[in-house]
Amino acid sequence: MRIAVTGASGNVGTAVLRALRAAYPDAQVVGLSRRRPPQEPPFDGVTWVQVDLASEDSETILLDAFSGVDAVVHLAIAFQPMRDRRYLRRVNVDGTERVARACEAAGVGHLVHLSSGGIYAPGAYGVEVDESWPRTGVEASTYSMDKAAAEDVLDGLSTRMRVARLRPGLISQYSFGSALLRYALPDLVPSSIVDVVPFLPIDRSFVVPAVHSDDVADAVVRVLQRRASGPFNLAAPTPVRADTVADAFGVRIVPTPKRVLSNAVRVGFTAHVLPIHHGWVELAFETPLLNAARARNELGWQASKDGPAVLRDTVRGMQDRAFGDSPPMRKRTISDTARSFVRRGFVSRGRPS
The pLDDT, as a whole number, for residue 347 is: 44
Q: Is the pLDDT of residue 345 over 60?
A: no
Predicted confidence band at 196 (pLDDT cuts at 50, 70, 90)?
confident
Q: What confidence tens digit (pLDDT) does each residue in 262-286 have? A: 999 999 999 988 889 999 999 999 9
Q: What is the mean pLDDT of residues 54-61?
A: 94
Q: Is the pLDDT of residue 220 over 70?
A: yes
For residue 278, give Cα distances in angstroms to 32, 112, 135, 281, 349.
30, 30, 21, 5, 21
Predicted confidence band at 55 (pLDDT cuts at 50, 70, 90)?
very high
Domain map (residue ranges) of the chain: 2-345
Residues with Cβ < 8 Å from 22, sequence gap 6 or more?
none
pTM, rounded to two decimals = 0.93
Q: Is the pLDDT of residue 257 over 60?
A: yes
Q: What is the 3-state secondary structure (H, E, C) of the chain?
A: CEEEEECCCCHHHHHHHHHHHHHCCCCEEEEEECCCCCCCCCCCCCEEEECCCCCCCHHHHHHHHCCCCCEEEECCCCCCCCCCHHHHHHHHHHHHHHHHHHHHHHCCCEEEEECCHHHCCCCCCCCEECCCCCCCCCCCCHHHHHHHHHHHHHHCCCCCCEEEEEEECEEECHHHHHHHHHHHCCCCCCHHHHHCCCEEEECCCCEECEEEHHHHHHHHHHHHHHCCCEEEEECCCCCEEHHHHHHHHCCEEEECCHHHHHHHHHHHHHCCCCCCCCHHHHHHCCCCEECCHHHHHHHCCCCCCCHHHHHHHHHHHHHCCCCCCCHHHCCCCHHHHHHHHHHHHHCCCCCCC
The pLDDT, as a whole number, for residue 342 is: 60
Phi/psi of residue 333, nearest 5 degrees? -120, 165
Which of residues 293 and 190 earns the better pLDDT score?
A: 293
Q: What confidence tens digit (pLDDT) does each residue in 166-178 have? A: 999 999 999 999 9
Q: Is the pLDDT of residue 349 over 60?
A: no
The answer to whether 111 and 69 have CB atoms below 8 angstroms apart is no
Q: What confidence tens digit (pLDDT) does each residue in 303-326 have? A: 999 999 999 999 999 999 999 989
Q: Is the pLDDT of residue 337 over 70?
A: no
Predicted confidence band at 346 (pLDDT cuts at 50, 70, 90)?
very low
- In the chain, what percentage of residues exceed pLDDT 70? 94
Which of residues 214 and 342 earns the better pLDDT score?
A: 214
Q: Is the pLDDT of residue 184 over 90?
A: no
Predicted confidence band at 70 (pLDDT cuts at 50, 70, 90)?
very high
Topology of domain 2-345, CATH: Rossmann fold (3.40.50)
Q: What is the mean pLDDT of residues 288-310?
A: 98
